[in-house]
Amino acid sequence: MLPWWEILLRLGVAAVAGGLIGLNRDLKNKPIGMRTLALVALASALLVAHADHSASSDQLTDPTSRVIQGILTGIGFLGAGVIVRTGNRLEIHGLTTAACTWLAAGIGIVCGAGQWLIVAVALVITFAVLIGGHPAERVLHRLFGGREDERGDGAAPED
């Protein structure tokens, strides 16, 4: 059995990490937000921490592997719920938010396994992509002649 402080750390970091990703989605008025992604990450961490009670082993146990597979398969349904196709068949919204849902589950899994360096690096890269990705897309579209959106600023539609 994990000590109480380790359980609190694993589940707490997962909820905070998922919540931070969700806050980004909230601030961009996307259909999934802080509470949802905090719960996705928390649930993932909870299931992995429970399945991985062989904390003395560095190897992934078979029950833990099955839990992770189930999480990653099941989370696709939640992510699919935020993807919307509008009137124009080429216009799809919600893909980044769906990816954030899957990412929050992955971060929760890694928190549940207690791999803190991986969590930290993943969060840094996540926010670099979420915050800097759209401005970088605009610059690259201008440089390489990408498709223009309705605003005429050269950026692809953001989801």
**Residue 132 falls within a domain, yes or no?**
no
**Residue 108 falls within a domain, yes or no?**
yes
Average per-residue pLDDT for the chain: 80
- pLDDT tens for 16-61 read 999 999 899 888 888 778 888 898 899 888 888 777 665 455 666 7
What is the residue-wise DSSP string for 21-60? HHHHHHHTT-SS-HHHHHHHHHHHHHHHHHHT--TT-SSP
Structural domain including 65 reads 4-115
- The pLDDT value recorded for residue 114 is 87
Ramachandran area for residue 155 (φ above 0: left; ψ -120 to 50: alpha; else beta) = beta
Q: Into how many domains does the chain fold?
A: 1
- The pLDDT value recorded for residue 128 is 92
Percent of the chain with pLDDT over 70: 83
Predicted structure pTM score: 0.69
pLDDT class of 157 with cuts at 50, 70, 90? low
What mean pLDDT comes out for the span 148-154? 47
**Residue 125 falls within a domain, yes or no?**
no
- The pLDDT value recorded for residue 12 is 93
